[in-house]
Amino acid sequence: MHDHRVFQLSSLRLSCGILSVALGLAPLPVATAQPSSPAPTVSQPASLQALLDAYVEQAVADWNVPGLAIAVIKNDTVVFAKGYGERVLGEGDAVDADTLFQIGSTTKAFTVATVGLLVDEQKVTWDDRVISHLPEFQLTDPAHTREIRIRDLLTHRTGMGNTDHLWYIVPHTPADIMSRLRLIEPSYPFRAGWVYQNIMYMTTGEIVARVSGMPWIDFVESRLLKPLGMSRSIVNANRAYAMPNVARAHTPDPEGNVKLVQYRYEAIDPDLAAAGMIWSSVNDMSRWIRMLLNEGVLDDERILSEVVVAEMLRPQTIIPREKFYPTARLTKPHWTTYALGWFQQDYDGRAVSFHTGTYDGMSAIVGLIPDEELGMVMLANLNSADVRHALMFKVFDLYGGKLDGRDWSAEFKKMYEDIAAKQKATRPPEKEPIPGTSLSLPLERYAGVYTNPLYGHIRITFENGQLQGLLAEAIPATIEHWHYDTFRVRFRNTSYGTMLISFILGPDGKANKFENERGQVFERQAIDE
């Protein structure tokens, strides 16, 4: 879901589980609000509960997270569930275990499960050809188009690179996006590499919709969330914000100060839902985790077959170390793989499956160690809150008997700070315009509608002596002269950054097209006389 940048380090997600410990156990209070769907609780040593509680509270403060909730599941029992901090920074409303957060790309495992439901019903197989269900699906290479399977979509091995620009900035519909896939050159050979891909999960959602006869949102809510008793979980930001006890999105500014931000693109939730748009709480997510750890059964009701759950967690493709999370620098896994909607690694001799989620000021992580019937979930209202990794490994340590394990919060915090410092130090210097240059044409003659078949169009208007831009009729920008016939586009939403565009004049002396810094050409649709 991000983590847009969903492809960058903050944009990846994971899952885990842990070793059974024979501890005699004392009642654990869950968060301030009672769970919407009560789960069994178990007693445990007060020291273990207190250790985790104190650790999380300190980590929330150290990482400057406005609000966070965490739950731990062991042996089909919720043994810890609590909220920390505020739903909105400075407003005083406390986070609890029922607070709703956007769970980002941890949604992907739910998308896999919706396919699994259809597999159980023998309506699809994991290795069905995509074009058998979506005849309009078309990649650059016709051979790849014919051969790509549902499993390929779910394991990020289609040969397609990062295509988040097709939805993150410009809210295209799934049909619009799929019509553009044939224009994208592959970034690696089919099934011979790995690049995280949100659009392919969107495509999977379209397959589920086509086979089931209902939109993916309706299918996941009626066939998965409702049977699981996840009564506060929904797949739409507008509906989430209308509910009580909902966290708001926050992100650090360039100086590191955490600020409330507007959750963008509520309108695209239906379009990219299957890639990362579920809203949930740690109480609800605990029910999902219990079902997975119990091989498809929750409270004596079978949700998914044991075969489907096993396939979801079976390693499918190797992830090169350079494309895995930077946390591997400290956890030092011997192997890193991707299953169906789960990152995987070994940790301390145990097989871990996990996934993170990041989208517009929200963060998540779900971690499982199935062999030990151990799982955890953390949801936070801060963009790329990488304290999540620290809390996951701390849970694995504590519930694996390492009461005096490593201080993952301190170690990961230093590591991420070092990475940020190195990136800042090696960042190329800001570009400067060439002084003393002038335009070839009067400013107003650069106005018009310019279109690229892959990226859509940008409308440039001349207003009050200045050029204004509107990308896809939704994203406003100011367009300032830079030098010669090059302009700087400054988006009103500063998180989109800036870009340079250079106009190309035709033999008739008119601005017929422009090219951006990435070499993408936009041609004028019509030239005003």
Nearest residue to 348 via CA among 20, 52, 18, 15: 18
CATH 2.40.128.600 spans which residues of the chain? Answer: 443-524
Name, in order, each residue with C-beta under 8 angstroms of 15's C-beta and a sequence gap of 6 or more: 109, 313, 342, 343, 344, 352, 353, 354, 355, 366, 367, 368
Please tell me the pTM assigned to this model: 0.86
**Both tokens of residue 365?**
């992580």
The helix or strand, by DSSP H or E, that contains position 150, with its residue range, turns out to be helix 150-154
DSSP state of 224: I
DSSP helix/strand/coil, 377: strand
| Mean per-residue pLDDT, 68-87 | 97
For domain 443-524, give the CATH number.
2.40.128.600
pLDDT above 50: residue 369:
yes
Give pLDDT tens digits for 517-528.
888 899 999 755
Structural contact between residues 216 and 209, judged by C-beta atoms closer than 8 angstroms: yes
**Both tokens of residue 63?**
């990482």
d(Cα 241, Cα 247) in Å, to the nearest integer?
A: 9
Q: Which residues, listed in sequence order, are joined to residue 84 by a DSSP beta bridge?
A: 68
The helix or strand, by DSSP H or E, that contains position 499, with its residue range, turns out to be strand 498-505
pLDDT above 70: residue 39:
no
Q: Which residues, listed in sequence order, are joined to residue 149 by a DSSP beta bridge?
A: 129
Residue with the bigger pLDDT between 270 and 417: it is 417
**Both tokens of residue 238?**
């507008």
**Both tokens of residue 521?**
């050409």
Give pLDDT tens digits for 278-318.
999 999 999 999 999 999 999 999 999 999 999 999 999 99
d(Cα 30, Cα 97) in Å, to the nearest integer?
A: 7
Residue 102 phi, psi (nearest 5): -80, 130
Q: What pLDDT is attached to residue 442? A: 96
For domain 9-120+210-424, give the CATH number.
3.40.710.10
Tokens 């089909």 belong to residue? 76
Query: Helices then strands (H, E): number in the chain?
Result: 15, 22
Confidence of residue 78 (pLDDT cuts 50, 70, 90): very high
Task: Say what percent of the chain tops pLDDT 90.
Answer: 71
Q: What pLDDT is attached to residue 119? A: 98
CATH 3.40.710.10 spans which residues of the chain? Answer: 9-120+210-424
Structural contact between residues 501 and 486, judged by C-beta atoms closer than 8 angstroms: yes
DSSP helix/strand/coil, 95: coil
Structural contact between residues 484 and 434, judged by C-beta atoms closer than 8 angstroms: yes
C-alpha distances out from residue 517 to 62, 66, 176, 211, 489, Å = 39, 37, 24, 41, 11
CB atoms within 10 A of CB 61: 11
Residue with the bigger pLDDT between 239 and 346: it is 346
d(Cα 173, Cα 474) in Å, to the nearest integer?
A: 14
DSSP state of 223: I
d(Cα 100, Cα 495) in Å, to the nearest integer?
A: 24
| Mean per-residue pLDDT, 455-471 | 91
Name, in order, each residue with C-beta under 8 angstroms of 214's C-beta and a sequence gap of 6 or more: 222
d(Cα 265, Cα 352) in Å, to the nearest integer?
A: 33
Tokens 């941890």 belong to residue? 106
Give pLDDT tens digits for 185-235.
899 999 999 999 999 999 999 999 999 999 999 999 999 999 999 999 999
